[in-house]
Amino acid sequence: MQTWLALLMMLLGYAACTDSFDESLSVQPLQDGRVDVAFNFTIRDDSISPHTHLLPLQIVNLLAAPEFEIDELHLSLSTGRWDYDKWHYPAFADLGSSGAEVWLSPASDSSRDSWNTLVHRLSGLFCASLSTSDNTHHVVLDGKTWTHAQISSQLPCTENLTPFIALLPCKSAAGLGQLLNPHKLFDADYHSLALSVYKDDHGARIEIKIEAVFNPARNGQQRQYSTKALFDRAVSQHCDLADSSTVYFGLPPPPTEEDSKDVWVVLPEDHEGIVENNVLSVDLMSSKKPFGLALIWPFQETFTYPRSTIDPPIRVRRDQIAGPIEETFVMKIALDNTDDESVQVSYLQSIPWQVKPWLHTFQIHGNKSAVSHEHALAKLDKDPYTLHVNTTLQPHSQTVIECIYQRQFLKYTDYAPDIHRGIDIPPGFARFTQNDHSRVVYTTPMLVDLATPDFSMPYNVIIITSTVVALFFGSVYNILVREFKLIPKQEHKGKTD
């Protein structure tokens, strides 16, 4: 009887378990001949319990832990520079940074301790050193309080991809996960691995996002590419656990003239996809054949990079200029709007404590009327300085934010290892909404030279400084206590004798 009951409970449990897994891949040609590839794996579950079906246990343990109280969590690991000028915006709004980035929105006010523990847990889960951030700060965005940390020197590699693949229900054995080939992915000009966790009253949703920009023309001087060539793998079978599995194969704009060099063809010609809005979508769940697509330009013998490209509507640039004295530099942030509409932009950056702003030199040039900014100065010794600027960029205008920063002189124990390389200032970023898409544009990270002492000198300095002090003290003491005497001069002696 008991066995029957247990079986019935299990069946009921299975029926009540409303979890789902959706995966998609988007392959989009870019205007400079590169290809943007974006994987999205979304797992939803209406309940969070250790008896999980699709939701990975690692994440369930994080969500269930009472000390963290995660409401929303984002982690991304990226290498390379996202070239906004040529590639415009990434497929995933919050990617495009460089280095590691962690965002946490706790359900209640979390302490610094629980943040540190969480970061250590994430470091362990994803094989990354996330605890070395020195620009961790708090910020309120869209009504939520976030703790945010960036580590620009933490670049992803194969060991970081493995834990991401481990979160997938079908791992890399079936479905789109098969295409996650580290040899190809980490050969890309830019690549980013990201995890987003959302928790609500009912359950949780996690998104695993992987985006990379490949350059097919780099090797063969040919623009053409195929999924086989990009990943060196094919999707041999679909993932049975997935509810949907779709490939969105972006097509270039149709050629203006027949038989010009811009004519392109999708192969194989008997693909099972549907073309809509210049995107060819293939449903892998219903597909009978192994998946593979190619895009070729039959009349193009060698590909030449375009001389000019279309600018994205909003651009952000951050530059370092020599300052008025040796230990200072000017940080110049230029926000450009090349669009015909005005855009509400919020710029945020967090500067590690080794560099200090001179707030009296803070200036905003451009549309002054619609600017609000707030500084968060360091409260504790090693807190970062955070700048948050909200402004409306008028059409075809530029807003420039300038401030002089001073490099701090530190105790020799406070310098990071390999300090002669300089310290990393993590990327700043501008957030805005355009055509109902929220976008984030990151600046490049900045390397700042710190003036360094000679680390081999402690004994010498103590000895030499003490000598100079003792020399002065000795001379003064000598004058104060010793008496003068008259001593007959030598030649006088000689004459009188």
Residue 468 is a binding residue for another protein (CB under 8 A): yes
Q: CB of 358: closest distance to another protein in angstroms?
A: 6
Minimum CB distance to another protein, residue 450 (Å)? 10
Q: How far apart are CA 84 and CA 429, in angstroms?
A: 12
Please tell me the number of Cα atoms within 13 Å of 205 on its side-chain side.
12
Residue with Cβ nearer another protein (51 or 493): 493
Minimum Å gap between C-beta 347 and another protein is 20
5 binds another protein (CB under 8 A): no
Selection from 429, 355, 419 nearest residue 385 by Cα: 355
CA 71 to chain centre: 20
From the list 50-58, 92-100, 133-141, 320-328, the region that binds another protein by CB under 8 A is 320-328
Check if the beta carbon of residue 294 is closer than 8 Å to that of residue 267.
yes
From residue 69 to residue 98, the character string flagging contacts with another protein as x (rule: CB under 8 A) and all else as - is ------------------------------
* DSSP state letter for 170: T
User: CA 109 to CA 489: how far, in whole Å?
Assistant: 87
Q: Is 489 in the site for another protein (CB under 8 A)?
A: yes
Q: Does 382 bind another protein (CB under 8 A)?
A: no
CB-wise, 54 or 378, nearer to another protein? Answer: 378
Q: By CB under 8 A, tell whether 328 contacts another protein.
A: yes
Sign of the torsion formed by the C-alpha atoms of 196, 197, 201 and 202: positive
Neighbour-count burial of 400, counting CB atoms closer than 10 A to its CB (0-12 exposed, 13-18 middle, 19+ buried): middle
- Do strands 35-45 and 204-214 pair parallel, antiparallel, or not at all (unpaired)? antiparallel
Residue 40: both structure tokens together: 């999205």
Interaction of residue 493 with another protein, rule CB under 8 A: no
Given 116, 237, 438, 475, the residue binding another protein (CB under 8 A): 475
Torsion sign (Cα): 165, 167, 170, 176 = negative
The token pair at 36 is 């943007």
Across 30-50, b (16+ Cβ under 10 Å) vs e yields bebbbbbbbbbbbbbbebbee
Shorter beta-carbon distance to another protein: residue 21 or 329: 329
Q: What is the dihedral of CA 305, 307, 311, 315, to 10 degrees?
A: 80
Measured from the CB atom, the residue of 68 and 329 that comes closer to another protein is 329
Q: 488 vs 494, which CB is nearer to another protein?
A: 488
Strand duo 70-79 + 190-199: pairing: antiparallel
- Residue 196 phi, psi (nearest 5): -125, 135
Binding positions for another protein, 347-376, rule CB under 8 A: 358-360, 362
Q: How many residues bind another protein (CB under 8 A)?
A: 46
CB of 472 to another protein, least distance (A): 4
Q: Does 447 bind another protein (CB under 8 A)?
A: no
Q: Is 483 in the site for another protein (CB under 8 A)?
A: yes
Going by their DSSP bridges, the two strands 446-448 and 429-434 should be labelled as unpaired
In degrees rounded to 5, what are phi and psi of residue 168?
Answer: -80, 140
The reply to whether 453 sits near another protein by the rule CB under 8 A is yes
> Any idea which residue has 């906004």 for tokens?
84
Q: How far is the CB of 50 from another protein (least distance, A)?
A: 46
Does 458 sit near another protein (CB under 8 A)? yes
Closest to another protein by CB, 2 or 413: 413
With CB under 8 A as the contact rule, the residue among 4, 286, 480, 494 that binds another protein is 480
Of 166 and 464, which has the nearer Cβ to another protein? Answer: 464
Calpha distance 296→127 (Å, rounded): 38
In 86-200 the beta strands, taken as DSSP E runs, fall at 99-106, 137-141, 144-151, 190-199
Q: How far is the CB of 236 from another protein (least distance, A)?
A: 57
Is there binding between residue 494 and another protein (CB under 8 A)? no
- Candidates 14, 288, 436, 484; binder of another protein (CB under 8 A) is 484
Which parts of 14-73 interact with another protein (CB under 8 A)?
none
Strands 20-29 and 244-250: parallel
> For another protein, which is the closer residue by CB, 265 or 470?
470
Using the minimum distance from each CB to another protein, give the nearer residue, 307 or 485: 485
CB of 458 to another protein, least distance (A): 4
Residues 6+ apart with CB under 8 A from 240: 170, 174
User: Which of the residues 402 through 431 are near another protein (CB under 8 A)?
Assistant: 408-413
If one asks whether residue 457 binds another protein (CB under 8 A), the answer comes out as: yes
**Residues forming the site for another protein (CB under 8 A):** 324-328, 358-360, 362, 377, 408-413, 449, 451-454, 457-458, 461-462, 464-465, 468-469, 471-473, 475-476, 478-480, 482-489, 492
